[in-house]
Amino acid sequence: MGVKRSRLHACAIVGTTIQTHAAPMTQSIPPSGLQIRSLIKSTGELELRLVSIPTPTPGPNEVLVRVDAAPLNPSDLGLLFGAADMTAAVQVGTQDQPIISARVPEAAIKGMAGRFDQSMAVGNEGAGLVIGAGASDAAQALLGKVVAVLGGAMYSQFRCVPIEQCLPLPSGASAADGASSFVNPMTALAMIETMRAEGHTALVHTAAASNLGVMLNRICLKDQIPLVNIVRSPSQTEILRALGARYICDSSSPTFIQDLTQALSATGATLAFDAIGGGPLAGQILTGMEAVISAKSKEYSRYGSAVHKQVYIYGALGLGPVQIERNIGMTWGVGGWLVFPYLQKLDPAVMRRLKQRVADELRTTFESHYAGELSLAEALHLDTIAVYGKRSTGQKYLINPQKGEVDLA
């Protein structure tokens, strides 16, 4: 198995349109299918490869889904690559059965100990055609339907999942349309639910030009929720401006703190969701909130305002320490926030309402754009990893596990 880096340029990702798949009924269920696996050995070596797994038989309340589209979300890349240094990765194996090998830097190996020597399937979400169903009426009712799935292991050709993890797509919607129905839409909606449940009336969002940020902006415009969008460049400002965002603060601007304070004053936001975490931003948001509240307050308290100010950190775009200055009074909180534990605790009726909204607004509010589509094997080619591994804003890719291998001749 020689290293084959030079031959791979032919499959560089250039497409920006998504191949959509018709959803014909089929009775033939292949006995096995391919699946991407990620393994980190206790020596610190990462190995990515395709494995063939027997196609499972659905239990009474399960369905078998032919996965036609699954996005490469930042959260998936975290599991796929672990802490490995992908800039020094090498590719071995064949083009159709590639194997990627990379090393976890010494300092990060300890943090990976929990997953040592476990071959892990990857892919939080996706969508596809239901080609098999268990005996229950509810399962049978999904046969032949295109469903979005929050199932894990979605970088697979076939997945067997409980029906509760499925969201039937509206008529006419393709698997590609519905591939990102859960992680970003439900995160955005859960942020709104959190805001209401905790008594806030406006929001701050960082890394606001992301796929998620764009959805959140659409929801807030539609629901008339004041939203302060914090971005990190003038070009990201333009993305949000074009989408009608009202409050956009560019943290790379020399007037950022003033702009932020003005936006916080105009919106009254006391809750922020922060995708960055490391560095001073979470603290700057709290400082701005406290300054705005204090300026409007009549009564002095040396403990600062009695209004609770909260930043939830849900991502790790900044890996350094979170730094919180002590000019924010005593009524504040900063903490980690994860959408799935949040959703698990949610009232089932609320959960149904949120899922229904995603289905209803799949091609408006929750529309995703993809920079390209990859087969399972292509997702394990070094040159494609170099592109999608950058996690650039606006450069999200889809895996289509049914896509045939590229002819490199």
Options 59-67, 75-83, 220-228, 391-399: segment touching a second copy (CB under 8 A)? 75-83
For residue 334, the minimal CB distance to a second copy (Å) is 5
Q: Which of 123, 329, 372, 401 binds a second copy (CB under 8 A)?
A: 329
Rule CB under 8 A: is residue 57 a binding residue for a second copy? no
Rule CB under 8 A: is residue 115 a binding residue for a second copy? yes
The nearer residue to a second copy, 226 or 340, going by C-beta atoms, is 340
Taking the C-alpha atoms of residue 9 and residue 2, their distance in angstroms, rounded to an integer, is 17
Q: Which of 300, 345, 347, 348 binds a second copy (CB under 8 A)?
A: 300
The dihedrals phi and psi of 8, each to the nearest 5 degrees, come to -90, -5
Q: Are 182 and 167 in contact (CB under 8 A)?
A: yes
- Residue 227 host element (H or E): strand 227-231
Rule CB under 8 A: is residue 42 a binding residue for a second copy? no
The nearer residue to a second copy, 135 or 338, going by C-beta atoms, is 338
Q: Which of 24, 31, 106, 302 binds a second copy (CB under 8 A)?
A: 302
- Residue 350 host element (H or E): helix 348-360
Closest among 357, 401, 331 to 69, alpha carbons compared: 401
Token digits of residue 283: 């603290």
- Per DSSP, the three-state class of 215 is helix
Rule CB under 8 A: is residue 337 a binding residue for a second copy? yes
Rule CB under 8 A: is residue 332 a binding residue for a second copy? yes
3-state secondary structure string across 90-155: EEEECCCCEEEEEECCHHHHHHHHHHECCCEECCCEEEEEEEEECCCHHHHCCCCCEEEEECCCCC
Options 11-19, 115-123, 149-157, 179-187: segment touching a second copy (CB under 8 A)? 115-123
Q: Which of 118, 201, 252, 255 binds a second copy (CB under 8 A)?
A: 118
What single DSSP character describes residue 265?
H
For residue 114, the minimal CB distance to a second copy (Å) is 4
| Footprint on residues 119-158 left by a second copy (CB under 8 A) | 120
Taking the C-alpha atoms of residue 184 and residue 210, their distance in angstroms, rounded to an integer, is 10
Rule CB under 8 A: is residue 314 a binding residue for a second copy? yes
Rule CB under 8 A: is residue 231 a binding residue for a second copy? no
Taking the C-alpha atoms of residue 406 and residue 409, their distance in angstroms, rounded to an integer, is 9
Q: Which of 331, 357, 367, 389 binds a second copy (CB under 8 A)?
A: 331
Q: Which of 16, 201, 301, 356 binds a second copy (CB under 8 A)?
A: 301
Rule CB under 8 A: is residue 326 a binding residue for a second copy? yes
Taking the C-alpha atoms of residue 309 and residue 269, their distance in angstroms, rounded to an integer, is 9
The nearer residue to a second copy, 140 or 294, going by C-beta atoms, is 294
**Taking the CB of residue 174, how many other CB atoms lie within 10 A of it?**
19
Residue carrying structure tokens 């922020």: 272
The nearer residue to a second copy, 117 or 347, going by C-beta atoms, is 117
| Footprint on residues 260-299 left by a second copy (CB under 8 A) | 277-278, 280, 283, 294, 297, 299
Options 8-16, 111-119, 353-361, 388-396: segment touching a second copy (CB under 8 A)? 111-119
- Residue 53 host element (H or E): strand 45-54
- Per DSSP, the three-state class of 299 is coil
Rule CB under 8 A: is residue 24 a binding residue for a second copy? no
Rule CB under 8 A: is residue 342 a binding residue for a second copy? no
CA dihedral over 60, 66, 68, 74, signed as positive or negative: positive
For residue 362, the minimal CB distance to a second copy (Å) is 27
For residue 3, the minimal CB distance to a second copy (Å) is 28
- Amino acid code (one letter) for 340: F
Rule CB under 8 A: is residue 52 a binding residue for a second copy? no
- Residue 283 host element (H or E): helix 281-296
Q: Are 188 and 221 in contact (CB under 8 A)?
A: no
Q: State the residues that interact with a second copy by CB under 8 A.
A: 78-79, 82, 111, 113-115, 118, 120, 277-278, 280, 283, 294, 297, 299-304, 306, 313-314, 316, 319-338, 341
